[in-house]
Amino acid sequence: MDLISSTLADDIGTITLDHPAKRNALSAALVKGLLEALADFAQRKARVVILRAASGAKVWSAGHDVGELPAGRRDPLGWDDPLRHLVREIEQFPAPVIAMIEGSVWGGACETVLACDLIVAAPGASFAATPAKLGVPYNISGMLTFLNAADVRIVKEMVFTARPITAERAEQVGLINYLVPAAEIDAFTLDLARTIAGNAPLSIAVMKEQLRILAGARPMSPQGFERVQGLRRLVYDSDDYLEGIRAFQEKRKPVFRGR
């Protein structure tokens, strides 16, 4: 069963998340489909990509597939995790990726959207960073994605409260580029894509890569990295981490005890 669909027309690639039964959770299988579509578009020299869910989706994506998170004793967001691959491929894709959002965006999907180059959202869309709701120690490059997308005070609000922020608020704080009525969002996003596709692709590709390299150039000493990794291990080895996953699977509120 295909969990995504993709089309390429007039140098514009469109990828649609299409696994509503699991609220487009970013499972390894769904991410594999996304990566294959992006590789195909790169090979066919797409000049812009639109990443979307089905029209009228209530949930754009529920984030990392919780069922695929390790049950403790292993970094849940290590280098080879499918979500990490997806974020890197979007950032390194040689053309702009536009996230077109209808519905709610959760956790790792929120980071995935923020890793896109432009974001167009419809009223009713929302964005939630959920590590604190599940007891997950988010990873450093993931935190940098958030930090590059919003003021640190907004990032702290998102990650400490784990509460969704509305598309309206997201526009106010500059988290998204455009807020567009649902009835117009398809045409608006296609017009935006056409504008980009009509410009010089080599110039755009090099500016996107320059911005990626500059945005990633944040000083962190080896000691600082090791300290953070040690702190993260304490979290993913904690009872709270197991409680967060168990509560999700038992469809109940987690009880975190700070150990």
Binding site for ligand YXS (CB under 6 A): 22-23, 25, 59, 62-67, 104, 106-108, 130-131, 133-134, 136, 138
Residue 103: CB minimum distance to ligand YXS, A: 9
Residue 58: CB minimum distance to ligand YXS, A: 6
Active site residue 174: no
Active site residue 64: yes
Nearer to ligand YXS, 47 or 84 (CB): 84
**All residues at 6 or more sequence positions from 123 whose CB lies less than 8 Å from its CB, including other chains:** 167, 168, 179, 181, 182
Residue 128: CB minimum distance to ligand YXS, A: 7
Nearer to ligand YXS, 136 or 155 (CB): 136
Closest residue to ligand YXS, based on beta-carbon distance: 107
> Exactly one of 19, 64, 135, 142 is catalytic; which is it?
64
> Exactly one of 138, 142, 236, 244 is catalytic; which is it?
138
**All residues at 6 or more sequence positions from 218 whose CB lies less than 8 Å from its CB, including other chains:** 144, 147
Residue 61: CB minimum distance to ligand YXS, A: 8
Nearer to ligand YXS, 25 or 192 (CB): 25
Nearer to ligand YXS, 136 or 193 (CB): 136
Please identify every residue annotated as catalytic. 64, 108, 138
